[in-house]
Structure 1
Amino acid sequence: MRKQMARQKDLFEEVVREALVPDEIQPALVTQLALLMFALIDVIETEVHDEQDRR
């Protein structure tokens, strides 16, 4: 029973490692994500402002 549990844990850790973003790509990815979030915030604020102007 303990061997099966250890094997399942190893399998999970392998899947997690494969899903991680490589260290050399992380800074560019974080920068792009931040830019996307700022753009989305601007769009939402514009929509809110437009909705308030119609009344």
Structure 2
Amino acid sequence: MHQQMTRQKDLFEEAVREALVPEEMQPELVTQLALLMFALVDIIETEMREEQDRR
């Protein structure tokens, strides 16, 4: 039973390591995410203005 728990923990840690983004890619991903967020905010604000204009 203890060996099985250890194996499950090892599998989890291995999966997390595989899912991590390499450090050299992180700044580019943060920049892209920020640009996406700004674009979404603009779209939401536009939709809100259009919705208010219809009333």
Range into which the TM-score falls when normalised by the shorter chain: over 0.9
For 1:43 and 1:54, the matched residues in 2 are separated by: 17
Q: Which runs of 5+ in 1 are unaligned?
A: none
Taking structure 1 as the reference length, the TM-score comes to 0.96
> Could you list the runs of 4 or more consecutive aligned residues of structure 1 that deviate by over 3 angstroms after TM superposition?
none
- Among all aligned residue pairs of Structure 1 and Structure 2, give the percentage whose two residues are the same amino acid: 78
Is 1:27 aligned with 2:30? no
> TM-score scaled to structure 2, two decimals?
0.96
Shift of 1:3: 0.9
Give the helix-richer structure, 1 or 2.
2
